[in-house]
Homo-oligomer: A and B are copies of this chain.
């Protein structure tokens, strides 16, 4: 019997934002590897098996999933958002590169999903409407000075910035430091958007000018979008403002 491994993303968590092809992959698979809260989003049948693990065990989880597929199982590796953006697809590839030859022969399929910054952007208006970047603030896997250098470079270049992994118990100071660095480059009026669990019952959403931005509205599941100097705020009577980055730039 020949196993296979499919890496899926649930989207930001609102079931209406998970793609039909991801749902079909879930219906077909028998063994599910992922961070517990992401597996909780799936409506698994009694004949399907959960293998939940902690959030910071991506490589071990990938190895266990590949091993199960190599033994013949139909395996699904579950990410939140899109599996290719600061999520499980890179960890699975890393495990394959450094693992046994048999893992290179496996059928591995990666299915794209709606990543957090797209859902937060849609909730706000269109802040990613011109050139933008996505940067993880976690210095678990890269030195902090690389992150600082990247933040300065992209802010000076005029890109909108989406920050993933902005804060955690083990990384309490990085987000406030990032805002301090960005205040050296960007206007204090630049809008900073904090979004988590968009479209879910526990949604949180806030917009704060960069000059006043602090880490307190953020948690591990928050995506933070910082505008460019050209990002605009449209006030609307009786409605949230629309925040957008115009398609025309740098004139």
Partner of A129, one of B21, B84, B114, B159: B84
A242 interface residue per 8 A CB criterion: yes
B residues within 8 A CB of A248?
141-142
In chain A between 1 and 48, which residues have their CB closer than 8 angstroms to a CB of chain B?
11-12, 14-21, 24
Map CB proximity to B onto A133-151 as digits: 1 under 8 Å, 0 otherwise. 1111000011100100110
Copy count, this protein chain: 2
B residues within 8 A CB of A119?
112
- Of the stretches A183-191, A207-215, A231-239, the one at the interface is A231-239
A83 interface residue per 8 A CB criterion: yes
A104 interface residue per 8 A CB criterion: yes
- Bound Cα distance A119, B96 (Å): 21
Map CB proximity to B onto A116-131 as digits: 1 under 8 Å, 0 otherwise. 0011011101111111
In the complex, the chain B residue whose C-beta lies closest to that of A107 is: B239
Establish whether residues B104 and A125, one from each chain, have CB atoms under 8 Å apart when the complex forms.
no
Establish whether residues B130 and A132, one from each chain, have CB atoms under 8 Å apart when the complex forms.
no
Establish whether residues B11 and A19, one from each chain, have CB atoms under 8 Å apart when the complex forms.
yes
B residues within 8 A CB of A21?
14, 16-17, 199
A169 interface residue per 8 A CB criterion: no
In chain A between 135 and 180, which residues have their CB closer than 8 angstroms to a CB of chain B?
135-136, 141-143, 146, 149-150, 153-154, 156-159
A216 interface residue per 8 A CB criterion: no
B residues within 8 A CB of A141?
247-249
A113 interface residue per 8 A CB criterion: yes
User: Given that A96-B234, A105-B237, A126-B110 are known contacts, is A90 also in contact with B245, CB under 8 Å in the complex?
Assistant: yes
In the complex, the chain B residue whose C-beta lies closest to that of A234 is: B97
List the interface of chain A (C-beta within 8 A of B): 11-12, 14-21, 24, 58, 82-86, 89-94, 96-97, 104-105, 107-108, 110-115, 118-119, 121-123, 125-136, 141-143, 146, 149-150, 153-154, 156-159, 199, 232, 234-239, 242, 244-251
